[in-house]
Structure 1
Amino acid sequence: MAVDSVSSTSDVLSQYQTSSSASETKSNELGRDAFLELMVAQLNNQNPLEPTDNQAFVAQLAQFSTVEGLDKLNTSVEDISSAFTSTSALQASSLVGQSVIVEGNETGLLLTGGVVSGYTELPDSVTDLKLQIEDENGQLLEQFSLGTRTDGPMSVRWDGLNLMIDGEIQDIDYDALNRQEYYTDDEGELVLDDNGDPIPVPYPAGEYVFKLTGNVAGQSEDMGMQMSSRVDSVTMSSTGSVTLNLAGGQSASLSQIQQILDE
């Protein structure tokens, strides 16, 4: 018995490709609806004497299910990525105006009326620990003896005059400082505090460097100290990465932040 008007699978594909090329689609990939239409057309046009093999048909359905699952997975990943980017942007924007300790930053910017901070991790117990404060040109301005300290984190804050170590204000002999400048009134007279002592003027705004030296197991060592910078603005790239623009023209990523300082 002859079977007339039965198109082969290759004919169906050729018809579909001709129809697709006539359209204005910009992609050669089959979408979900096109895939289903092609499958139904294949079933409708199959040779009744040689129907589509069940295993082949099941394989096609499994392939479609896999593609559909991957498409949904891609959509979910894109949603998660978008949410993560938004969270990073929100977190970064909250840092604008804050001072942060950034890995690799060895120079801190002291603003008028502000505080410059430093942070380090002491590897071991240190004796005869000394803090040197230098200007941006490397000139030594002041040196403070800090005695003995155990291993672990150590933070330093300085407003150009007063010194705080790990949250404790240090007792400083202001008369022993290298800088001997005091506030005066309009007539050039010294301004005195409640105790009748002249009020010292702090170092001016500018860039400063903290350097630590001490003895570890009898050997003199230099302790690296990371310095603080203020976050002036935040930049978001087209890929979603966040860059912190720091005062003084420096920049850093979120992963480089070691501390966020509470001013």
Structure 2
Amino acid sequence: MSLVNPYSSQTLPQTQSSSTSSVASNTTQTATTGNAFLDSVQHAEVAETPEPNSQELTQADFFALLSQQLSMQDPFKPVENDQMISQMASFSTVDGISKLNEEILNLNNLTSSSQALQASGLVGQKVLIPSDTGHISSESPEVKGVISTPTPIDSITVNIEDESGQVIRTFEVDGSAGGNIDVTWDGLDKNGEPVAEGNYAIKANGKIDGTSEDLAVSTYAHVSSVSLGDVTTGAILNLRGIGGIQLSDVLAVAES
């Protein structure tokens, strides 16, 4: 007698199909293949890389080490009290210095911001800078400066040089008062014509004890804006046509 499968020509019951779908769905969600080796490889690929641990010792680390030291010490030769106190004091000192450095850094940043805020009041003003170079433009058709003399000089020779170093104008100023002598160049060349916009240098020369010597010259520049800078530089004044200069290098402030 031949055996006949009673389900060979029949459709599986609906409940079995649902169960099969449920198993397939679960397999998709867990992303397993049923093979132990393949599953282990798959899980190894999606494993997250642990973030590196900080190399800096904290107070909790110190007390953990201290507790470990106490637990591992020789009961017949325990750590002396003064040695333990010295270790704790050393850690407290290092921790205090670290916090102090942070506070100083915050204070420096606050000082820089405050300095920049105060320097913003100089925008639109003219400042005296330790440079003999001035800027000529339609907004500033003349250059003013200060000639410093160690002793009174009867006559000071002033030469105006362009950016190539060529002398375009020469005139005399009275230096008999000595000290700081104000000087103004009207922006005209030796022919009385206005010069082109650009930077020009004021060179001063005078006789001291019968010897001709170059004299220090400072010029006024227009402040167009202020930059914050950093902790080392502080606020930076941006001068029209000249560039940036530290606020600490400003010699004087004048009305625009």
TM-score (norm: length of structure 2)? 0.62
| The one of 241, 244, 255 aligned to 1:251 | 244
- How many pairs does the alignment contain? 203
1:76 Cα offset (Å):
2.6
1:108 Cα offset (Å):
0.8
CA gap of 1:206–1:63, structure 2 versus 1, over 3 A, is closer
Does the CA-based 8 Å contact 1:107-1:136 persist in structure 2?
Answer: no
1:205 Cα offset (Å):
5.1
What CA distance in whole angstroms lies between the structure 2 residues aligned with 1:245 and 1:139?
Answer: 27
1:240 Cα offset (Å):
5.1
SS at structure 2 position matched to 1:94: helix
- Work out whether 1:127 is the aligned partner of 2:154: yes
What CA distance in whole angstroms lies between the structure 1 residues aligned with 2:158 and 2:76?
Answer: 94
TM-score (norm: length of structure 1)? 0.60
SS at structure 2 position matched to 1:97: coil
What CA distance in whole angstroms lies between the structure 1 residues aligned with 2:229 and 2:174?
Answer: 47
What CA distance in whole angstroms lies between the structure 2 residues aligned with 1:100 and 1:217?
Answer: 32
CA gap of 1:155–1:252, structure 2 versus 1, over 3 A, is same
SS at structure 1 position matched to 2:82: helix
- Work out whether 1:102 is the aligned partner of 2:94: no
Instruction: Let me know the Cα RMSD of the aligned residues.
Output: 3.4
- Work out whether 1:111 is the aligned partner of 2:137: yes
SS at structure 1 position matched to 2:225: strand
**What residue in structure 2 maps to residue 226 of structure 1?**
218
Does the CA-based 8 Å contact 2:173-2:183 persist in structure 1?
Answer: no
Matched AA of 2:181: M
| The one of 106, 110, 117 aligned to 1:90 | 117
| The one of 183, 189, 194 aligned to 1:156 | 183
Instruction: Extract structure 1 runs of 4+ deviating beyond 6 A.
Output: none
| The one of 85, 97, 104 aligned to 1:70 | 97
Does the CA-based 8 Å contact 1:130-1:147 persist in structure 2?
Answer: no
What CA distance in whole angstroms lies between the structure 1 residues aligned with 2:79 and 2:216?
Answer: 74
CA gap of 1:237–1:113, structure 2 versus 1, over 3 A, is closer
What CA distance in whole angstroms lies between the structure 2 residues aligned with 1:147 and 1:228?
Answer: 20
Give aligned-pair identity as a percent: 33
Does the CA-based 8 Å contact 2:153-2:175 persist in structure 1?
Answer: yes
What CA distance in whole angstroms lies between the structure 2 residues aligned with 1:220 and 1:153?
Answer: 18
Matched AA of 2:121: S
Matched AA of 2:204: L
SS at structure 1 position matched to 2:222: strand
CA gap of 1:179–1:34, structure 2 versus 1, over 3 A, is same
| Greater fraction helix | 2
Q: Highest CA radius of gyration, 1 or 2?
A: 2
What CA distance in whole angstroms lies between the structure 1 residues aligned with 2:212 and 2:245?
Answer: 32
Q: Which has the higher contact order (CA 8 A, sep 6+)?
A: 1
| The one of 172, 192, 199 aligned to 1:179 | 192
| The one of 202, 213, 227 aligned to 2:205 | 213
1:225 Cα offset (Å):
1.9
